[in-house]
Amino acid sequence: MNLTILHVSQPVDGGVARVVTDLVQGQRVAGHRVLVACPQGGRLGREAVAAGAEVLHWPARRSPGPSVPGETRRLRRLVQAAAPDLVHLHSAKAGLAGRLAVRGRLPTVFQPHAWSFAAVTGPLARAGCRWERYATRWAGSVLCVSEQERLDGLAAGVRADYTVVPNGVDLRRYAPAERRAARLSLGLDLSGPLAVCVGRLCRQKGQDLLLAAWPAVLRRVPTARLALVGGGPDAQALAAQARALPEPYRVRLTGDVPDPRPWLAAADLVVLPSRWEGMALAPLEAMAMARPVLLTDVPGAREQLPPAHRAAGLIAARDPAALTHALAEALADPLECARRGGEAREWVTARHDVRSVVARVSELYQKSIGDGQPPSRVPARI
């Protein structure tokens, strides 16, 4: 059965945008009509169009606030005009406005991509938990990208029909590549060990923690280099933090890049010291390119690593000493990094092929439509 599927997303960059685009591509190949409602700017709109989606302009800020009622009204009108069989809401803001707009009158899948209450503390975290407990009535299924994300939802009192589908990667696009050629293309030193961090420059991804640990890493591995690949709201602050490091700090901030694959190929080690996640996409892409990863032990990280890599590849979140030690140990042994990279490619190939993700999400859609949620087509008023 061919469906009309409406994805709603804010943000429009980073891993969430990549996940949505991969779903669009797979769903279009399967013959479905796919629409994406998202703000203008960023990559999602243009990449979704290239993948075959119809893109609907949905102005929405990333954070909640006074703009929510207007965003909800606009989204309700888009849903009415699109007449989808199913709505798939991505991340906290789309989950907020989308569930308020649709209120369960259409089959609805909500995908947190990391719980909103994990990003804050105090009253905001408590308010986020209360909202998620209440709003779960308006989603036929909550789609988590890791088992730990599901457990965190349950621990917060969010009772829902959960489905866990780990993130995947396009193994044809992210394939092993020759390190020397990648470094030549980027104008990098050919011999020194290189750590690369790919991700949105923001508090969540922890690049500030990485920069704080870097001088101690250089004292143990003086030839090491670090590249922060990506753009984001903390770009200026991180650039200032890097400039304040003692010379030679050997750090390069690339800014946003159209394609991170050359940087992943150039790396000896890919590091992501996140404060919270659902299951980060960049480490999967790195492992698909046969590069080992170093991650903080946040939701999704342990599950996406080969069991044999967890001792060396996982550290406690917000532990500068552990980050320094693990970085220095890995960068001092490029041969071991290369060995772990080969194993990582085999692991991702067996467990994180994006085609299996698309198939499992399709099964969830069919179940959501067939489990007594309203049948296809939005009513005249919702």
- Contacts of range 68-73, beta carbons closer than 8 Å, 24 or more positions apart: 68/96, 68/97, 68/100, 71/97, 72/97, 72/100, 72/101, 73/101
Residue 195, strand partner residues: 226, 269
| pTM exceeding 0.75 | yes
Residue 314, strand partner residues: 295
What count of Cα atoms within 13 Å lies in the side-chain half-sphere of residue 235? 12
Q: Which domains does the chain have, with CATH numbers?
A: 4-168+354-370 (3.40.50.2000), 179-351 (3.40.50.2000)
Which residue in the block uniquely carries the two structure tokens 């990485």? Answer: 210
Return per-residue pLDDT of the chain as tens, 382 residues.
799 999 999 999 989 999 999 999 999 999 999 999 999 988 999 999 999 999 999 999 988 889 999 999 999 999 999 999 999 999 999 999 999 999 999 999 999 999 999 888 899 999 999 999 999 999 999 999 999 999 999 999 999 999 999 999 999 999 999 999 999 999 999 989 999 999 999 999 999 999 999 999 999 999 999 999 999 999 999 999 999 998 888 899 999 999 999 999 999 999 999 999 999 999 999 999 999 999 999 999 999 999 999 999 999 998 989 999 999 999 999 999 999 999 999 999 999 999 999 999 999 999 999 875 444 333 334 4
Region of 271 please: left (phi>0), alpha (psi -120 to 50) or beta. beta
**CA distances from residue 289 to 66, 134, 286, 339 in whole angstroms, order as listed:** 43, 41, 5, 13
Angle 238-120-203 from CA coordinates, rounded to 5°: 10
Coil, strand, or helix at residue 332? coil
Nearest CA-CA partner of 198 in 136, 281, 132, 290: 281
